[in-house]
Structure 1
């Protein structure tokens, strides 16, 4: 359906090009299986453009939301004018009644209607002009925060929302939000404490979006393109690119596999969000998982010498402990020895 030239054309696109491309805009607003497949493959093949694509998609959704919001004002104006016309008609039907101030009443009603409509239109015009002047004078700037392995940070956004960004994670957010929506882009893992207000807060995870008003939740996008959303308080709505929508209640977690399959479950809050309180949690983890967690937590390289039993697993919690103390804990309960040499760790039995 889509030719090679389509793939080539988008390689030179910048942010403004995506914002004006009809094919791209249609995918963002009304995705289907074909367009979603095309863009997922294109982004996979052009990883250097991923951030620009995500920014453009977020901006288009924001504009779309504003247009829908503005439509309410247009509908209101149309209804208001109809009401005024009906009122004037009713007044004119009373012309046979001898009322000395009849024409003054009609004139007064027309004047009031004109003043109200003029005021309402002026308000809309001023609001739009003011928004345009803000965008022109102070354009939105996107800020990207990247945490390497071993680093965790806390960010406070301009609306008061707080974000705990985990190790090996990246978040992109604007220096200020629009009047109608708050959007951020996430790769990796973060815990969100969203300030409650009327503007929706949207976390874009690439193949899915999380939408909330005010709540606390954990979101994780793994390198295998697996997504996890765990809700602590409030309520969230998760939308994927295929149009599926799932609502989560507190203590529920949604997992979306790389192939798009998803399911809800309950979760252990310490295991899922303990990291933000500096608690390293192992839950019946095999060696590959233990290795991955230690490498990400302490920014080291772990290798195994010898063989482990295929049934080997480890469970334990460590609150703000050093690498050596964690390895000592594992050693005491699993009889695995270790050596630390700078940024390299060797485990052996």
Structure 2
């Protein structure tokens, strides 16, 4: 982390009384520089101004503060047990309304939204304001408010996430690119990346209603059902599935059961931040069954696939870029 970024993070922690003794020591050392002293005084001034403005939910004050100070900072978010201990997750906070209270009118408390962005090759999890727990897969962005209203609980998703929704009489809605999911309390997995042409919802338990972006009901699914929704909302397909294959990633593993190698590669690309290419459709259509563990090095996993399937694998290490893997059919008998 750059020294200036570290200074902003420590300064914010100081104001919200979140520093440990070691961090206090580091901050005091940085404050010996006159420029840092001026910056810290400015931070305190803005913070005092915020305390006089319209009250915010206590759970979101620090996120709002990050935006007002005009800086994006790297925050540490706990990863899943089987992944690395910490990951640098970019949290972008912004105000969705006016913070300043005028003398003419009293404004309602504005919602404060945050965006949690999970880099490729990492995973994260978060508990929302209402107690709903969300696991986020690689390359996923979740936008969520500091609190929910009395009519609905809404979040916005781009990527893959597993939701364990806290039961409530207030509907919980997940806004996707071309549709929305509505539930009261349930658990389900969602895959809805902006660059893909469809969204996929797998229901573990409870009930799910699928709506258009305008809120009009499209259909409903039952536990152990999976729905694939093309972006044009036509040719929607529902099928029975083994839900373990779509939730095991939250435990740091991916299970495959006779899945196309092309589809497996697509998931591995995000999980390990690599690029996988095929030289033929025949190689793409090969089927594979097995379990991939996140804590295993990628080169071990790709070598195992090369041993179990009739393929040749070419691995190119790219310094500072994604590694490139090329898979082709092995013409020689195994």
Is this a same-fold pair by TM over 0.5? Answer: yes
**Paired position in structure 1 for 2:306:** 331
Measure, in 2, the Cα distance between the counterparts of 1:309 and 1:241.
38
Structure 1 contact 154–165 (Cα < 8 Å) conserved: yes
Does the 8 Å CA contact 2:175/2:213 hold for their aligned counterparts?
A: no
What number of residue pairs does the alignment pair up? Answer: 219
String of CA shifts for 1:262-319, please: whole Å, max 9, x gaps: 1221112122222111112334344432332221110112334689557533222123
Q: Given that residues 261 and 284 in structure 2 are in contact (C-alpha distance below 8 angstroms), is that contact kept between their aligned partners in structure 1?
A: no
Contact 1:305 1:346 in 2 (8 A): no
Segments of 5+ residues of structure 2 without an aligned counterpart are 1-94, 98-104
C-alpha contact 1:228 1:253 (8 A) present in aligned 2: yes
Q: Distance in 1 between matches of 2:168 and 2:210?
A: 19
Q: Which of residues 128, 135, 144 is equivalent to 1:164?
A: 135
Who is 2:273 aligned against?
Answer: 299
What TM-score, normalized to structure 1?
Answer: 0.57
* Cross-structure match for 1:186: 157
Structure 1 residues 4-24: Cα deviation after superposition (integer angstroms, max 9, x where no partner)? xxxxxxxxxxxxxxxxxxxxx
User: Which of these two proteins has the greater Rg computed from alpha carbons?
Assistant: 1
Specify the alignment match of 1:317 in structure 2. 291
**Structure 2 length-normalised TM:** 0.59
1:341 to 308, 313, 317: 317
| Residue equivalent to 1:274 | 248
Distance 1:307 1:251, change over 3 A: closer
Per-residue deviation, residues 21-78 of structure 1 (Å, max 9, x unmatched): xxxxxxxxxxxxxxxxxxxxxxxxxxxxxxxxxx99xx9xxxxxxxxxxxxxxxxxxx
Deviation at 1:139, TM superposition (A): 1.8
- SS of the equivalent of 1:184 reads strand
Task: Tell me the CA shift for residue 225 of structure 1.
Answer: 3.2
Aligned 1:3-42 pairs, distance under 5 A: none
Q: Which structure's residues are more often helix, by fraction?
A: 1
